[in-house]
């Protein structure tokens, strides 16, 4: 694991919640990112929740950031309570240098070998999709799985969530969004620009583990803190 990410994780592990909150705010305010910044790799924006930094949520963030650090990515943290939903999305779109880039939450653990490389290859082979996500390992979360005769590596879906692969240049004009409206608003933007949203087929074995199931902040699913 990269030394700078490991150091950040240690600070999250051993610092009290107030210290962690200050540390994250300083990092975001200064525009800093975790991980050695490497050219021509995927930008990953992880939305964090300072107000929810307790032992459980901190554990989610540690595992999530640590797993991303194993991929060839540039990791950026966005503090949701500091920037808000819309501003956080706009910041990611502005700062992303890769196309596509990934926007996700700090309780979503990616699962699968060479996750970024294989996902990027699949998405770029289907330019009709502007936003793509993965199925959860928690099957009750999956709104729709592919039909038995579906053979494409990506199949169409609406209101996909984290981890969200996004083509650069799509989310340029955003309405004011909330956690409850975010996915629907993005879906309408994508359709309005003539693209589709989709999910990676489970045969690709690109999944995620929503560790926040039961702790999530998504009000539509009634899993609020």
C-beta separation of 199 from 134 below 8 A: yes
pLDDT of residue 51: 58
How do residues 97-134 score in pLDDT, each as one tens digit?
A: 999 999 999 989 999 899 999 999 999 999 999 999 99
Q: Report how far apart, in Å, the C-alpha atoms of 106 and of each of 34, 54, 144, 163 are.
A: 13, 13, 23, 10
CATH architecture of 3-215: Alpha-Beta Complex (3.90)
Residue 126 or residue 151, greater confidence: 126
Helix, coil or strand: residue 50: helix
Domain ranges of the chain: 3-215
Residue 218: count other Cβ atoms within 10 Å of its Cβ: 17
How do residues 190-208 score in pLDDT, each as one tens digit?
A: 999 999 999 999 888 899 9
pLDDT of residue 214: 59
Strands, E, within the chain: which ranges? Answer: 42-48, 73-79, 101-105, 108-111, 129-133, 135-136, 154-156, 164-166, 196-200, 207-210
Can you tell me the mean pLDDT for 15-22? Answer: 34
For the record, the structure tokens of 39 come out as: 């050219």
- For the ranges 74-88, 127-141, 210-224, the lowest mean pLDDT is seen at 210-224
Report which secondary-structure segment, H or E, holds 67: helix 55-68
Sorting pLDDT into bands at 50, 70 and 90, what band is 145?
confident
pLDDT of residue 222: 37
**How big is the CA angle at 17 (ends 15 and 19), to the nearest 5 degrees?**
60
21 pLDDT above the threshold of 60 = no
Provide the whole-model pTM: 0.79
Sorting pLDDT into bands at 50, 70 and 90, what band is 147?
confident
Can you tell me the mean pLDDT for 135-147? Answer: 75
């Amino acid at each position: 694991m990269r030394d700078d990410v490991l150091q950040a994780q240690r600070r999250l592990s051993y610092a009290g919640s107030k210290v962690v909150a200050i540390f994250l705010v300083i990092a975001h305010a200064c525009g800093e990112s975790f991980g050695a910044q490497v050219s021509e790799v995927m930008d990953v924006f992880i939305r964090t929740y300072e107000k929810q930094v307790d032992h459980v949520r901190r554990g989610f963030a540690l595992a999530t950031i640590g797993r991303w650090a194993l991929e060839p990515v540039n990791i950026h943290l966005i503090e949701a309570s500091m920037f808000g939903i819309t501003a956080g999305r706009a910041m990611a779109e502005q700062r992303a240098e890769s196309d596509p880039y990934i926007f996700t939450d700090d309780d979503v653990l990616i699962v699968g070998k060479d996750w970024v490389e294989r996902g990027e290859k699949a998405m770029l082979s289907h330019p009709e999709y502007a936003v793509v996500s993965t199925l959860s390992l928690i099957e009750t979360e999956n709104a729709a799985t592919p039909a038995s005769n579906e053979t494409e590596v990506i199949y169409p879906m609406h209101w996909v969530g984290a981890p969200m692969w996004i083509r650069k240049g799509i989310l340029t004009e955003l309405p004011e969004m909330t956690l409850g409206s975010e996915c629907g608003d993005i879906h309408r933007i994508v359709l309005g620009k003539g693209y589709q949203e989709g999910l990676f087929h489970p045969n690709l074995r690109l999944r995620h583990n929503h560790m926040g199931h039961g702790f999530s902040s998504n009000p539509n699913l009634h899993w609020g803190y």
